[in-house]
Structure 1
């Protein structure tokens, strides 16, 4: 690129060009079909004109009004990459609470559910969304109503698995156990739990012994270890730690590396709510059955933030 060409590029075009150069350089495909790429985002917290604040702090209040803008920025970056990102996984808190307890309200009005879907429909690859605590409003809105809305608006189940090129991606739901059941003695919305039915389903998926990525909203430290005698999430993670390649969670809105504390590698990721650069760009080597967190070197651990995925002008 000569000086005249360089000067003629706008800031946005220049940023996109540099990003594409960096991605192409870092993901040099040596064997066609050997690699594939996916991205992860979390805690998008989309709102609508019915939103009424404030939040718990000035920072939280300011951030919630920027959620659509920041998700759009992350989306533009992810859409721009070649080799192409093939899938995006969203680790809960898709939108920010419910503006009404009335089911019909969501079909008589355009709400944050619709705005969230419009934003993720703008990705050029499929986006697979999981449930977070703000995608429920227990006890005011029943879990059953939330599940009906997710099925009608997004065609999504409370938990599910995706198989892709020999790998498995599992969205678990930490709001289905007794800690999220208002009539239970265990009721505590700050604690995640899964319920025996989901745990049995999870184990059935793991028994296929495909290399697996697991997504669930609450960090593992915040989830009930065992729920039926000695049976629960934590023992399953340890039992199948050779199958489970990585567990990614959100909720804390900060980057935390739990390493192998719970068996498989466990990351808590930051939120696009606070930082448009809070995304994970992942490379999978189907031949070696390994994975790589491509932009890990940009993460500012224990903060909301990551440096933008851009090629340094002096490179």
Structure 2
């Protein structure tokens, strides 16, 4: 049964959840053509009209050693193998945080060594597991903060698209909600002031910029202030991690999308008393870690999602 058919037979609350979720996705390949973002299945043929592609991975949690997944480096490398097998290499990779589990230097270095084998530029956003205090923030910036401000946020342009990496994990609020803070918001306003409304914008950070489950900290307290600054742009894509499952929303010109972890799943909102590593039956881990083919059509079209797991 397809996700659409399942959603139609479900009750209203379950239908809303099914319509916005896809249970796959350790990595996505995003393409830009004519200012419109789209993503395709890792390993599929590259679209002829694609302006360029990049890959998103998230929540590698190197150093995690619980029975849910005692070897997250192995599943990270499976995702990297998918990227390496692409018929044409992506222009670059973005990692949307929780590179490590405890921000230990050796965990940072293992992640760097593994990802470096792809020989692609990588742009990082920190997760709350990567910056625990001043010492780990320094270690993170030394390894992953190239071009970033002291607050671990920055922007860059690539073939007409403006990319913005934000940090919403160093001043967590009640229940672990993310926060951007005044200085970062002021920087964002300044960063955007010379961009025309037609400039395609991609924002990436760890904790979602749309409120999914505030009781679990799955949202950013001052995201509205950032989204107000971004509202004038005709093409806005916001990519996040943190929740270890694929969810998406389209609101006006903005497409919000969260990626799955390369390490372990988490429960869907409302299905468990709290977030955290979700243990699945033995042998089924790769059936809940996977890749996602997502197509974004210009205008108000809904994202079309096709699921493919690592097990497949």
Q: Secondary structure at the match of 2:109?
A: helix
Alignment of 1:68-217 (within 5 A): 68-99=73-104, 106=105, 111-137=106-132, 142=133, 144-156=134-146, 157=148, 158-177=152-171, 180=172, 187-188=173-174, 190-207=176-193, 208-209=195-196, 210-217=199-206
Moved over 3 A (4+): 19-22, 154-157, 222-226, 275-285
What is the aligned length?
236
Q: Secondary structure at the match of 1:258?
A: strand
Q: Secondary structure at the match of 2:143?
A: helix
Kindly indicate which of the two structures has a greater share of residues assigned to strand: 2
Q: Secondary structure at the match of 2:207?
A: coil
Instruction: Report the counterpart of residue 11 of structure 1 in structure 2.
Output: none
Q: Which runs of 5+ in 1 are unaligned?
A: 1-18, 54-60, 100-105, 181-186, 227-232, 300-305, 311-315
Instruction: Report the counterpart of residue 268 of structure 1 in structure 2.
Output: 258
CA contact (8 A) 1:41 1:280 kept: no
Q: Which runs of 5+ in 2 are unaligned?
A: 1-39, 212-217, 265-284
Q: Distance in 2 between matches of 1:200 and 1:20?
A: 37
Instruction: Report the counterpart of residue 240 of structure 1 in structure 2.
Output: 230
Shift of 1:284: 10
Residue 127 to residue 282, structure 1, CA distance change in 2 (3 Å):
farther
Q: Which has the larger radius of gyration?
A: 1
Shift of 1:115: 0.5
Kindly indicate which of the two structures has a greater share of residues assigned to helix: 1
Scaled by the length of structure 2, the TM-score of the pair is: 0.65
